[in-house]
Amino acid sequence: MEDCIFCKIAEGKIPSDKIYENDNFFSISDANQQIEGHSLVISKKHFETSLDLPTTLGAELLDCIKKTVLKLVDKYEWEGFNIVNNNFECAGQIVKHVHFHILPRKKGGKTPRVY
């Protein structure tokens, strides 16, 4: 997808500081932080929604989520986290490239909205 910002990041056309990366996924800090430490796990190949993502990539997706959280949990002193995946515009998906939000949580902290 020529106009897809996540494809451009995956291809190195837009520089980014990757938190973690494996063969099919990478993670970066979200450019529109809803809460400090808000990060994204993004597929390297273009899939529009999680329904398009092959199930064979499930283990690598989970690997990227886990390794990203483990790298950030101490840095931001998280007590918990949410994983959010918006699919289709009516559900709040803005970038039409599958991605998962990792949202740090602390007891008594604000509940972020992710769109």
**Residue-by-residue pLDDT tens, the chain, 115 positions:** 679 999 999 999 999 999 999 999 999 999 998 888 999 999 999 999 999 999 999 999 999 999 999 999 988 888 999 999 999 999 999 999 999 999 998 887 766 666 5
Catalytic pick among 38, 97, 99, 101? 99
Spatial separation of the C-alpha atoms in residues 57 and 81, rounded to whole Å: 22
Tell me, what's the pLDDT at 109? 73
Beta strand segments in the chain, E = 20-21, 25-29, 39-43, 80-84, 99-105
Residue 101 pairs in a beta bridge with 40, 84
What CA–CA distance (Å, rounded) separates 19 from 63? Answer: 13
- Domains of the chain plus CATH, in order, are 5-105 (3.30.428.10)
Q: pTM (2 decimals)?
A: 0.92
Active site residue 99: yes
